[in-house]
Amino acid sequence: MQYVRRKGIVRSRDLEALGIPREYLLRLHRQGKLGRSGRSIYRLPDAAITEHRSYAEVSKRVPEAILCLLSALAFHEFATQSPASVWIALG
């Protein structure tokens, strides 16, 4: 749990690399000790919801992606609104 607290959002494969089986994650989720943001994405249930949370989730799902266009402008506070979708660029 300390690892999740330190990282904020983790993928199940990150925890599996540390020797924590996926079944354990599902058990923690059912007990309410871990929240699930989506498929294979976990967080603490009391984690603060910020305007950058969707960017963090996308970066966990697609580590090689780069925020671009309206998402980059919103992230760096050059825009007044956040886009409805997260815009990314892939190599």
pLDDT reported for residue 22:
87
Concatenate the DSSP letters of all residues of 8-33 into one string.
Answer: SEEEHHHHHHTT--HHHHHHHHHTTS
Entry pTM: 0.77
pLDDT reported for residue 47:
84
Q: What is the pLDDT along the chain (91 residues), one digit of tens a residue?
A: 688 888 888 898 888 888 989 898 889 899 999 999 888 899 988 888 888 889 999 999 999 999 999 999 999 999 988 889 999 999 8
pLDDT reported for residue 78:
94
CA dihedral for 77, 81, 84, 87, sign (positive or negative)? negative
